[in-house]
Amino acid sequence: MSEEKSKTALLKEQLTMGEPKGIKSLSAEEIQKADEFCEGYKTFLNASPVEREAVKYSVAAAQKVGFVEYDPNAQYKCGDKVYLVNRGKAIALAVIGKDGVKNGARLAIAHIDSPRIDLKPNPLYEANNLALFKTHYYGGLKKYQWTAIPLTLHGTVVKLGGETVDICWGDEENESCFCVTDLLPHLAQEQVTKPMSKAFTGEDLNVLVGSRPFDTEDKESELVKLNVLKILNDKYGITENDFLSAELCLVPSFKTKDIGFDSSMIGGYGHDDKVCAYPALMAAIDVENPQQTCVTYLTDKEEIGSDGNTGMQSDFLRYFIYDLAKQDGVEGYRALSKSICLSADVNAAFDPTYASAYEAKNSSYINNGVVISKYTGHGGKYDTSDASAEFMGKIRTMLENNKVLWQIGELGRVDLGGGGTIAKYVANMNVDVVDLGVPVLSMHAPFEIVSKTDVYMAYRAFFVFFDEK
């Protein structure tokens, strides 16, 4: 028998999509590079559960390689590296290109906020000799997932008079942490018959923060609460009123862990969307003398609709591009209209346990590379930017030419639900944009999972996008 392929087999190879290339197409060297890249990513993720911390990490990493704070009155030349922080919660990093922004900028935009539990403005109370925090969850949570796991407190308090205190409690190995309690199964026979949305509500996300009374002979009430306030006052100099001007978040206290006997994946809190933010940050750090000015923008508030002055709907990035354009002697709107953008955001990886939530042919898969989502939205492509055929063609060609492993993916099956990203807000600025990011398992859970090679391919995608001549 001949080993030669039949004419039909050759035609099939030529005309059909075939099986995805997947991780089998990567060399051992590439997989090793991915593993090494992810060590840096794990450090970033552990250091940055909330957006302010991600900004601090990014500033330090950028300064180390020569980025300086942006000065709108300075004149920049090709290769110069600048950054601009927005209210401590978002950051733009630009590497000035040979053409500046005359022919538009290259934008990679990711968000650095993640689903979590925020404290209410008046959070602390005592009930049955326990001290607890009232909370208001942030972003899309399955609330039951946040019970009975260790939580740490991160955030900022502004005292009367304006002094700022950063709070981080529960991260150290031997430091105490906090927890939302849950009902034992024996007493949950009513609870378990309720639909999931009713079995555990937002007002049930009360966080246990103390149980010992303040040590006194005085006959006073609420001494457990007083004891908590005394501890906070001793450590941070704050009082109960200072909670009124604070941003305090509870996030899972566990650090990242490799997943699988083969350590091929990473489990951790906040992959969505630090897993795209870090590769986009590293692409800005690594690119040198690009043709067009490259901008990595790490934004806030995506998980709650991108509203507010640190979210993608703010004019912060628009004005930054306008300032860059002014220095290049072009109108800001012209620079924007020629700009192109990769909206760096995760997609839900196909999960065989929940296969019915996906449509297999148009889902992204762990280890098949960075995923492009042409559109997101819900209910008949509502509420999304739908990337043009032309722009899809351009990005596809770029990835293929540079041997970046990539795949296409929709977020779940049609009409099941849906989601949104920052892409539509970028598109509304008259910019060509498409979502490109890392497939995630257990997205929005306290412990999400990504593949190391997919993380690395996200970095490769952003880098070749910035480096393209």
448 binds Mn ion (CB under 5 A): no
Judged by CB under 5 A, the number of residues near Mn ion is 4
Answer for the pair 292, 91: CB distance below 8 angstroms, yes or no.
no
DSSP 162-222: S-EEEEEES-STTS--BEE----GGG-TTGGGS-HHHHS-GGG--EEEE-PPP--SS--S-
435 binds Mn ion (CB under 5 A): no
For Mn ion, the closer of residues 51 and 272 by Cβ is 272
Candidates 43-51, 83-91, 338-346, 456-464: pick the segment binding Mn ion (CB under 5 A): 338-346
For Mn ion, the closer of residues 113 and 126 by Cβ is 113
For Mn ion, the closer of residues 76 and 375 by Cβ is 375
113 binds Mn ion (CB under 5 A): no
**Which residue bears the tokens 């148009």?**
362
For Mn ion, the closer of residues 405 and 445 by Cβ is 445
> Residue 200 CB, nearest distance to Mn ion (Å)?
20
Contacts of 148 (CB under 8 A, 6+ apart): 179, 180, 181, 182
> Residue 212 CB, nearest distance to Mn ion (Å)?
38
**CA proximity to 106, closest of 334, 296, 390:** 296
**Which residue bears the tokens 């500046």?**
100
> Residue 365 CB, nearest distance to Mn ion (Å)?
18
Answer for the pair 378, 343: CB distance below 8 angstroms, yes or no.
no
For Mn ion, the closer of residues 272 and 454 by Cβ is 272
For Mn ion, the closer of residues 53 and 300 by Cβ is 300
SS3 label, residue 241: helix
> Residue 149 CB, nearest distance to Mn ion (Å)?
19
Of residues 253-272, which lie at the interface with Mn ion (CB under 5 A)? 272
Candidates 72-80, 253-261, 282-290, 337-345: pick the segment binding Mn ion (CB under 5 A): 337-345
118: which 2 tokens? Answer: 């925020």
273 binds Mn ion (CB under 5 A): yes
345 binds Mn ion (CB under 5 A): yes
For residue 119, the one-letter residue type is: L
Residue nearest to Mn ion (CB): 273
Beta-strand pair 151-158/340-344: unpaired
For Mn ion, the closer of residues 287 and 443 by Cβ is 443
φ/ψ (deg, to 5) at 450:
-130, 165
> Which residues here bind Mn ion, judged by CB under 5 A?
272-273, 345-346
